[in-house]
Amino acid sequence: MSLKKLFPVFALLVVFSMLLSACAAPVQPTTSVEATSVSGATQVPATEVPTNDSPLKDLSGDVVIDGSSTVYPITVAVAEEFATVAPDVRISVGLSGTGGGFKKFCPGEIDISDASRAIKDEEAAICQENGVEFVEFLVALDGLTVMVSQENDWLNEITVDQLAALLGSSSTITKWSDLDPSYPAEDILFFIPDPDSGTRDYMIEIVEKANGDEDLRQDENTTFSSDDNVLLDGIANEKNAFGFFGYAYYVGNKDAVKAVPVVNKAGDAVLPSDTTVQDGTYNPLSRPLYIYVNLNSLQEKPQVAAYVNYYFGPDGGAAIMSEVGYSMPPTGTYEANLALLAESLK
Please state the domain count of the chain.
2
- Same domain (yes/no): 253, 318: no
Point out the domain boundary residue: 271, 299, 332: 271
Which residues face 309 on adjacent strands?
Answer: none
Same domain assignment for residues 128 and 155: no
Distance from C-alpha of 47 to C-alpha of 22, rounded to nearest angstrom = 35
Closest CA to 74 of 254, 333, 328, 341: 328
128 with 150, same domain: the answer is no
Residue 45 has pLDDT above 70, yes or no: no
Q: Which residue has the higher pLDDT, 149 or 12?
A: 149
pLDDT at 44 exceeding the cut of 90: no
Residue 174: exposure state from Cβ atoms within 10 A (0-12, 13-18, ≥19): middle
Does residue 23 form part of some domain?
Answer: yes
Domain end among 236, 271, 306: 271
Query: What is the extent of the structural domain holding 155?
Result: 145-271
Rounded Cα–Cα distance for residues 221 and 298 (Å)? 44
- Quick one: 15 and 136 in the same domain? yes
* Tens digit of each residue's pLDDT (9 = 90 or more) over 139-183: 999 999 999 999 999 999 999 999 999 999 999 999 999 999 999
- Give the per-residue pLDDT at 30: 27
Residue 240 confidence class, pLDDT cut points 50, 70, 90:
very high
Q: Mean pLDDT, to the nearest integer, of 259-284?
A: 95
For residues 248 and 306, state if they share a domain: no
**Would you state the pLDDT for residue 32?**
27
Q: Does 124 lie in the same domain as 48? A: yes
Q: Where are the beta strands (DSSP E) in the chain?
A: 36-38, 41-44, 61-67, 89-94, 112-115, 134-143, 145-149, 189-193, 222-225, 241-245, 257-259, 262-263, 269-270, 286-294
Phi, psi of 9 (to 5 degrees): -65, -40
- Please name the residues in contact with 300: beta carbons below 8 A apart, sequence gap of 6 or more: none
Of the three residues 244, 271, 298, the one that is the final residue of a domain is: 271
What's the CA gap between 199 and 75, in Å, rounded? 17
- Give which of 49, 74, 51, 75 is closest to 63, Cα–Cα: 75
Q: How far is it, in rounded angstroms, from Cα 241 to Cα 229? A: 15
Phi-psi group of 219: left, alpha or beta (phi > 0 → left; psi -120 to 50 → alpha; rest → beta):
beta
One domain, residues 41 and 123 = yes
> Domain check: are 173 and 114 in the same one?
no
pTM of the model: 0.79
277 within some domain? no
Please check the confidence at residue 1 and state whether its pLDDT lies above 50. Answer: no
Which residues is 189 bridged to in the sheet?
Answer: 241
How many angstroms separate the CA atoms of 15 and 235, rounded?
32
- What's the rounded Cα separation, in Å, for the pair 317 and 3? 23
Whether the CB-CB separation of 296 and 133 falls below 8 Å is answered with yes
Q: What is the pLDDT of residues 174-232, one digit of tens each?
A: 999 999 999 999 999 999 999 888 999 999 999 999 999 999 999 999 999 878 888 99
Supply the pLDDT for residue 6: 38
Is residue 137 located within the same domain as residue 166? Answer: no
Kindly state whether residue 264 falls inside one of the protein's structural domains. Answer: yes
Q: Report pLDDT for 34.
A: 31
Q: Which of 344, 341, 325 is nearest to 76 (CA)?
A: 325
Question: How far apart (Å, rounded) are the C-alpha atoms in residues 68 and 144?
Answer: 13
| Residue 156 and residue 267 in one domain | yes
Least trusted range by pLDDT, from 14-18, 75-79, 189-193: 14-18
Whether residue 244 lies inside any domain: the answer is yes
Alpha-carbon Rg for the chain in angstroms? 20
84, 131, 137, 247, 288 from 26: Cα distances, Å: 20, 39, 21, 19, 20
Domain for residue 279, yes or no? Answer: no
Does residue 194 fall inside a structural domain?
yes
Within-domain flag for 283: no
Same domain, 56 and 41: yes
Return the CATH number at 246.
3.40.190.10
* H helix or E strand, kind and range, residue 104: helix 98-105
Instruction: Determine which of 50-59, 257-266, 310-319 has the lowest per-residue pLDDT on average.
Output: 50-59
Q: Is 278 a member of any domain?
A: no
211 and 260 assigned to the same domain? yes
Say what percent of the chain tops pLDDT 90. Answer: 75
